[in-house]
Amino acid sequence: MDIPPQVQDKLAQFQTLQQQLQLLGLQKQQLLVQGNDVDNALTELGKISGGEKVYRAVGMLLIESSKGESEKMLKEEKELGDTRIKVLERQEKKLTERFEELRKELQAMLGKGE
């Protein structure tokens, strides 16, 4: 059975959207895990007194840092991650809507309309 070029084009678009949605899902999951790590670090940081030494990883090194500086950096990282998650969720919503439109178009083209 030959597939018309128009249907092949829609199928290619459909597969591309599907891959983009999977990639967004993975990125979102990574950001959520990082956010949980930041939350855990903030919780542990809250348990120590201000006078104790704190170290943070910078590449392959551990650098001494103050509790306040570490808290500030972690909070900024958390805020940035939360913002990025919101952006990904908006992108995911738009792609999902387009994905569903294409799915319906393909079903109609293949004679399997709802």
> Higher-confidence residue: 26 or 49?
26
Residue 14: its pLDDT value, please? Answer: 93
Q: Tens digit of pLDDT for each residue in 37-90?
A: 999 999 999 999 877 889 988 899 999 999 999 999 999 999 999 999 999 999
Which range among 3-17, 24-38, 56-70 has the greatest average pLDDT? 24-38
In-domain check, residue 55: yes
In a domain, 56, yes or no: yes
Question: What integer pLDDT is reported at residue 74 of this predicted model?
Answer: 96
Q: Which domain holds residue 97?
A: 25-105
Distance CA 23, CA 103 (A): 19
Q: Give yes or no for residue 17 having a pLDDT over 60.
A: yes
Beta bridge partners of 62: 57
Q: Is residue 14 part of a domain?
A: no
Q: What's the pLDDT at 81? A: 97
User: Is residue 76 in some structural domain?
Assistant: yes
pLDDT above 70 for 113: no
Per the domain annotation, does 70 fall within a domain?
Answer: yes
Instruction: Identify whether 112 is part of a domain.
Output: no
Q: Which residues contact 48 (CB under 8 A, 6 or more apart)?
A: 54, 67
Is 43 part of a structural domain of the chain?
Answer: yes
* 113 belongs to a structural domain: no
pLDDT score at 60: 94
Q: Which residue has the tokens 């738009």?
A: 94
- Tell me the average pLDDT of the chain: 92
Residue 32: give its domain's CATH number.
Answer: 1.10.287.370
* Greatest Cα pair distance in the chain: 75
Instruction: Please enumerate in sequence order all residues whose Cβ is within 8 A of that of 34, keeping only pairs 6 or more positions apart, or say none.
Output: 77, 81
CA–CA distance, 11 with 67 (Å, rounded to integer): 54
pLDDT of residue 112: 66
Total domains, the chain: 1
